[in-house]
Structure 1
Amino acid sequence: MSLKSLIALMVLTPLLLLGCSSVPQSTLPVQWQQHQKTLQQIDQFQVTGKLGYISPEERQSLNFFWHHQPYYSELRLTTVLGQTALKLAISPDGARITTYEDDVFEGQDATSLIYRLTGLRIPVTQLPAWLLGLPQDEQQFTLNDQNTLASLTAESTRQGVTRAPWHIAYQRYRDIDVNGERLPLPSKLQLTQGDIKLNIVITKWTVTP
């Protein structure tokens, strides 16, 4: 079975969209400039959650685990049955994907490599900052009533080709304990690019400041 075929077996379920309903939503107000500075100082974190992918051609549901460090990131995608679909490692040397059959594929651009192997457009290069709720340079954004990120628009260029921008809507936050302090971090967000939607529900944050 090919990697695309394995992932194609997964159908988006309502559980993905409701998976965060029992988690208390953050109502902690922040001062944006200070909050932004705090987020910028986070260089190591682990995130566990669910990813729903919707396009005109397919609807997929996967579990994910992301381990991010300054010079190394690892993304693991598993099916709803717990079978590992792929492991992605990103370093200064490029991107490497190991499939469930232990086949290894390498490339310089992680986003393009995932798309080539799975057909899924996942902006893995930008995701570490977006998962934190942190806009990057020249990205347009709005804030909510708690002064955390409400929405974000980011231009998209891959291999020199300009594509439709990504729009990120932050739908829910939860308070995470970081060194004894409460820090509101995203727990539910939706990424949209043209007719593609990625629904992300984060069930666990582990932050190392």
Structure 2
Amino acid sequence: MRALRILTALACAAALAACATRLPEPAAVPALDAAARARAEALQAVRAEALLADPAWQLEGRASITRAGKGGSGRIEWRQDGPAFEVALAAPVTRQSWRLAVDGGGARLEGLEGGTRHGPDGQALLFEATGLEVPVEALGAWLRGLPADEAVHGPARLEFGADLLPARLEQVGWAIDFRAWRPSTGGAPALPLRIDARRGDAGVRLVVDAWSGAEP
């Protein structure tokens, strides 16, 4: 019931809600030859270095969350400052929202029935309160097209597209497809504009409208 309440709170316009109930289909990833993969890995290393040198950033966009055929959509804001982050989801139609903040002192979840909840782990707190399996601790890296810390989250596998940018990232049982990119301009690294993630019957779809603070 808790999961149903939050999904209902996040439900948006009918067209968006219908889209949210379908898991994203896996993207087609081309096979690169050894030379092209080597170039892609070299470019990724440069991109990662630039992004990791700027740990404070934020994005605004639209997100949909799906689990077991049920889902909801809404606006998302993500603010990251090193290991600390804050994510807010809001449904424009119902005007309901929730906010998760995680820092060195633990996690805080606001906006749900029953008041503010606290816990040591953001992902566990969100699942306990809503039933949503969202890998929030790893998303800060995934959102920028980077593997999460392998010492914490385990090994990652990264595949590249014909443009030599990341096309798919697999880690902790999740497959993350990067379907559109903001190109590198003026020395700023390329950043994802559309991301689809899935694991089992759970899926997260994100369309980024604006990046900020992610400049070298």
Same fold flag (TM > 0.5): yes
Check the 8 A contact 1:86/1:100 in 2, yes or no.
Answer: yes
Alignment-derived partner of residue 123 in structure 1: 135
Alignment-derived partner of residue 76 in structure 2: 64
- The 3-state SS of whatever aligns with 2:163 is coil
Question: Are residues 205 and 174 of structure 1, via their aligned partners in 2, closer, same or farther at CA, if it must alter by over 3 Å?
Answer: same
1:168 equivalent among 167, 170, 176: 176
Matches within 5 A, 1:98-177: 98-99=110-111, 103-136=115-148, 137=150, 138-155=155-172, 165-175=173-183
Question: Are residues 61 and 143 of structure 1, via their aligned partners in 2, closer, same or farther at CA, if it must alter by over 3 Å?
Answer: same
- The 3-state SS of whatever aligns with 1:116 is helix
2:55 equivalent among 43, 46, 50: 43
- Give the Å deviation of 1:124: 0.6
TM-score by length of 2: 0.76
When you count strand as a share of all residues, which structure comes out higher?
1
Check the 8 A contact 1:141/1:151 in 2, yes or no.
Answer: yes
Q: Which runs of 5+ in 1 are unaligned?
A: 18-28, 156-164
- The 3-state SS of whatever aligns with 2:137 is coil
CA RMSD of aligned residues (A): 2.7
**How many pairs does the alignment contain?**
187
Calculate percent identity across the aligned residue pairs: 23
Check the 8 A contact 1:46/1:68 in 2, yes or no.
Answer: yes
Alignment-derived partner of residue 55 in structure 1: 67
Check the 8 A contact 2:123/2:134 in 1, yes or no.
Answer: yes
The answer to whether 1:189 aligns with 2:175 is no
Q: Which runs of 5+ in 2 are unaligned?
A: 20-39
Question: Are residues 13 and 204 of structure 1, via their aligned partners in 2, closer, same or farther at CA, if it must alter by over 3 Å?
Answer: farther
> Deviation string for 1:151-180 (max 9, x for gaps)?
01112xxxxxxxxx0110111111366xx4
- Give the Å deviation of 1:141: 0.8
- Give the Å deviation of 1:6: 5.0
Report the Cα distance in structure 2 between the residues aligned to 1:97 and 1:193, rounded to whole angstroms: 23
Letter paired with 1:152: L
Report the Cα distance in structure 1 between the residues aligned to 2:114 and 2:130, rounded to whole angstroms: 15
TM-score by length of 1: 0.78
